[in-house]
Structure 1
Amino acid sequence: MKVIPAIDIIDGKAVRLTKGDYNQKTEYSDSPLAVAKEFEQAGITNLHLVDLDGAKAQKPQNLSILDSITSETNLDVDFGGGVKSNESLEAVFKAGAKQITAGSIAAKDKPLVKGWLKEFGAERIVLGADVINEQIAISGWQEDSGLELFSFLEEYIDAGAQYCICTDVSKDGMLQGPAIDLYKRILARFPALRLIASGGVAELSDLEALSQIGVYGTIVGKAYYEGRISLEELAAFNS
């Protein structure tokens, strides 16, 4: 299992939100680049970089930070936040991202995202499935898309998707444990899917539990930033 630390960016700073609420924001003193370098030095290979300004603006706003991280580290970066057009997708790849995460846009414009899968390949396009009560949530989790999770996944897997970051919104930033049962059901239905769990990881035992059920990767944010899991412990899980 890959452990994938997250850096969320607002105004050029590394932050963490609770349940995606911009009003429940914690800022961290180190710059995103400094944090990324710490991850790399510990032996971590992947990074989940989220442009929260871009998500609001509907267009990436922190490409210079992405470029600095990909230029000054060897981390494989997946980037999300505001990637909603061919132009923004190409700009993100030009800035060095190995993958982009297609979240709300995958619910709102399926032909566009399916076209990306066909043109760029499944290795570069990660499906983002943010879930509330097994319904896909969009627009910063403020809106119900009307799409049911399993049907959504099936449609995109049929279109070639191989990677999916699934976030249980009720768990995000709460440090109360991940949605193990939900991930078990997803993997039972789609065993070939490279499922990346996101939300709720609070301690080392959560990573152990996720590894045991066979997720491809797990995104870790708040648990690391608040000192509940060390860098060394994160790096030890990478495989």
Structure 2
Amino acid sequence: MDIIPAIDIIDGVCVRLTRGDYNTKKIYDGDPLHVAKSYEDAGIRYLHCVDLDGARTGHIVNEETVRKICEETALEVDFGGGIQSDADIQKAFTIGVRQITAGSIAVLEPETLIRWLRHYGPEKIILGADFKYGKIAISGWQESSSLDLLSFLDDYISRGIRTVISTDISRDGMLSGSSEKTYETIKSRFPHIRLIASGGIASMDDIRKLNDMNIDGVIIGKAIYEERITLKEITEFIASC
């Protein structure tokens, strides 16, 4: 299992939200690069980076912050938030991210995402399937859709998507444990995809449970900042895998 810390950015600093509510913003560190380097020093290979300003405005905002992380660390960065156009995705890859996470555009402009998938290849495109009570949410989780999570996944996996990040918005930032039953259902129905679980991770026990379920990766955010999970514990887990 891949351990993937999250860095969410607003106004160039590291923040966390609760259940995607921008009014709950809490600043944890003024220097995302410093945080990213601490993850790299702990032996972590992957980073999930989200431009929350971009997610809300519909275009990339914090590109220079992300560029510094890509240039000054060896972390493999997947990036999302505000990627809504050809110019946006080109910019993301130009600043050095390894993969982009496509969320809102998968709902609003599916033909664009399919075109990107064909052009860049499935190894470069992650489907962001963020859900609340079984329905897909978009625009930085500020809007709900009528799309059913499993039907949404079925459609895109049949079109070539191989990697999915699925966040349970109702648990995100709550430190209440992950949506294990949902991820078990997804993995059972689509066993060949790379499934990355996100939302609610509060302890190493949560991570071990997902690992035992053969979930391929897990994104951790608030639990690290709040020291519910330490970098030492992550390092030891990585070494044991």
Relative to the length of structure 2, the TM-score reads 0.97
Q: Which residue matches 1:91?
A: 91
The answer to whether the aligner puts 1:119 opposite 2:97 as a matched pair is: no
Confirm or deny: 8 A CA contact 2:15 2:29 kept in the other structure.
Answer: no
AA matched with 2:44? I
AA matched with 1:178? S
How far apart, CA to CA, are the structure 2 residues paired with 1:193 and 1:237?
23
The answer to whether the aligner puts 1:196 opposite 2:196 as a matched pair is: yes
* Offset from partner CA, 1:29-76 (integer Å, 9 cap, x none): 340000000000110000000000111121000110111011100000
How far apart, CA to CA, are the structure 1 residues paired with 2:8 and 2:174?
16
Change (3 A) 1:2 1:237: farther
Confirm or deny: 8 A CA contact 2:12 2:30 kept in the other structure.
Answer: no
AA matched with 1:48? H
How far apart, CA to CA, are the structure 2 residues paired with 1:30 and 1:236?
27
Q: Which residue matches 2:4?
A: 4
Q: Which residue matches 1:184?
A: 184
Confirm or deny: 8 A CA contact 1:2 1:237 kept in the other structure.
Answer: no
* Offset from partner CA, 1:179-237 (integer Å, 9 cap, x none): 00000000010000100000000011000001110111000000000001001222333
Unaligned runs of at least 5 residues, structure 1: none
Confirm or deny: 8 A CA contact 2:4 2:217 kept in the other structure.
Answer: yes
TM-aligned CA deviation for residue 142 of structure 1: 2.6
AA matched with 2:178? P
TM-aligned CA deviation for residue 145 of structure 1: 1.6
Unaligned runs of at least 5 residues, structure 2: none
Confirm or deny: 8 A CA contact 2:58 2:139 kept in the other structure.
Answer: no
Q: Which residue matches 1:228?
A: 228
The answer to whether the aligner puts 1:129 opposite 2:111 as a matched pair is: no
Query: What is the total number of aligned residue pairs between the two structures?
Result: 239
Relative to the length of structure 1, the TM-score reads 0.98
Q: Percent identity?
A: 51
